[in-house]
Amino acid sequence: MDWHDWHDVYDRPDSPLARRLMAVQTQVTVALDSAPPGPLRAISLCAGQGRDLLEVLAGHPRRDDVQARLVRSSGCPRAA
């Protein structure tokens, strides 16, 4: 499976990866909502397309408070 095929699975709402992404995005939203005022830093490891953070930040009122780093390394797990 190539990189594009792997990430296309996230676009199928019934897929386990889409459900996992939704759960992670929910946790990111909770963290942003409960963080004290001021600057925030976030790191997404094995970020792929960065949907875990970028899709949440795009519409979140705290987006301007966040400095984020997306990390993708050859050591990150890949789909078989």
The total domain count for the chain is 1
Q: What pLDDT, on the 0 to 100 scale, is given for residue 80?
A: 43
Q: How far apart are CA 7 and CA 18, in angstroms?
A: 10
Residue 23 maps to a domain: yes
Residue-averaged pLDDT of the chain = 86
Q: What percent of the chain has pLDDT over 90?
A: 57
Residue 76 maps to a domain: no
Looking at the predicted structure, is the pLDDT value of residue 78 above 70?
no
Domain that holds residue 9: 3-71
Q: What pLDDT, on the 0 to 100 scale, is given for residue 76?
A: 65
2-34 pLDDT per residue, tens:
656 667 788 888 989 899 999 999 999 999 999
- pTM of this structure: 0.81
Q: How far apart are CA 57 and CA 68, in angstroms?
A: 10
